[in-house]
Amino acid sequence: MKIAGRYVTGGQVAGQFLLLFLVVIWTLPTVGLLISSLRDKDQLIASGWWSALSSTEITNQGRTGTADDQVETAGGYEIAGNLLPEDSPAEIGFWSDNINDITAYEAGQSAPVDDTGAMTVNADGSYSWVSPEPFTLERGERVFYQAFVPPIFTLDNYREVLASEGIGRAFINTATVAIPATIIPILIAAFCAYAFTWMSFPGRNWLFAIVVGLLVVPLQMSLIPLLRLYNDVGATFGVEAKSYLGIWLAHTGFGLPLAIYLLRNYIGSLPRDLIESAKVDGATHFHIFTRLVMPLSVPALASFAIFQFLWVWNDLLVALVFLSKREDQIVLTSQLRELLGSRGDNWEILTSGAFISMIVPLLVFFALQRYFVRGLTAGSVKG
């Protein structure tokens, strides 16, 4: 088969379609989250995002007016009004005065109600209840209806999150955690990766094997022991255990194994002749690292920076353990969790909150994405 001026095999075509399928499946939840964040709250609760372009069916009830609201007409007495909220876009399809049979009557159809005349409920929610005898109701009659609401898209969910108290401060706190927690492990890992690659010292291979082994250690295993260590150190020196310095060190420790592994593979792929020539010219390891290795390792550094920044920015567990919920320490993920309430009553704002929290990570990714693939694949194959 010839495509775009070149021949491709059936296997290549199948591979391209499989890749496209995986991309669609991978991005589908994000699309659903975006659509949900723009939907009306009532519709979001009533139906899934895949039905966002169709009308939403709702079942509700309203009450008619009382005897005080009746007016005398030529044919008797009438109570009129509207069952729908003011400015509601809904249209009533069916109605009834019996909760067990809400679809008994179509909109616009007249029917006897409570043996006191006939009622007509229209699609716009207006009703007219007429009777030849005066009404004696002290309380309005309940009317049940099934309505259809057209698709409503709004930015109210975003306004609610952005207008919530503490969101701006939480953004600043999250940046205060994420930026140092990304830079510190990159610097340490870069020095370690250079040492493991171009410096000879006893136990080098064993130490690197231990670092690689730490990749499989679950983060959750070390949280409580590390917090107890912080508390002991804080009590000894009279400092607060839950602080920004503590969470910076925690994220640094958790991120170092992957950082060292990635950077060591990349730095190891650099031309040996280049390093040897620098040594012959009298350059020290520090000069080689700062003037040759670091500039050439920008793709690998950017790749890990993306990983580390995304992880730290979206982190909730480590922040809950190593930071308090004070205004000057609470991070964005924790603040959004607080907005839900103790029972999760406002879970709808999670959709818009998720996209608000994604803004900065997306900017970081798109700013560094041109280095991303180069940094991940470098060192995987040596010439």
d(CA 92, CA 111): 15
Average pLDDT, the chain: 86
Sheet with 126-131, side-by-side order of all strands: 71-73, 76-82, 126-131, 118-121, 110-112
Strands (E), the chain: 2-3, 6-7, 56-63, 71-73, 76-82, 91-96, 105-106, 110-112, 118-121, 126-131, 142-149
What the block records as the tokens of 346 is 């406002």
In the chain, the amino acid numbered 102 is I
pTM of the model: 0.73
- At residue 312, the pLDDT reads 94
Cα–Cα distance for residue pair 377/335, rounded to 1 Å? 37
Query: Rounded to a whole number, what is the distance in angstroms from the first to the last CA of the chain?
Result: 32
**91-96: strand order across its sheet:** 56-63, 142-149, 91-96, 105-106
pLDDT of residue 1: 53
Do 62 and 83 touch, CB atoms closer than 8 A?
A: yes
The per-residue pLDDT for 14 is 82
- β-bridge partners, 143: 62
What pLDDT score does 377 carry? Answer: 54
What separation in angstroms does the CA of 328 have from each of 168, 170, 340?
Answer: 11, 8, 20
Q: What pLDDT score does 381 carry? A: 45
Selection from 47, 251, 230, 69 nearest residue 152 by Cα: 47
pLDDT, tens digit, for every residue of 11-45? 777 888 898 999 899 889 888 888 988 988 878 88
Predicted confidence (pLDDT) per residue in 168-193, tens digit: 899 999 999 999 999 999 999 999 99
Cβ contacts of residue 313 below 8 Å, gap of 6+? 174, 178, 332, 357, 360, 361
Instruction: Find the helix or strand (DSSP H, E) in which 354 lies.
Output: helix 349-377
Low-confidence ranges of the chain (pLDDT < 70): 1-8, 10, 341-345, 372-383
Between helices 244-268 and 204-213, what is the axis angle to 10°?
120
Confidence (pLDDT) at 10: 67
298-329: string of b/e by CB count within 10 Å (b at 16+)?
ebbbbbbbbbbbbbbbbbeebbbbbbeeeeeb
Cβ neighbours of 181 (radius 10 Å)? 25
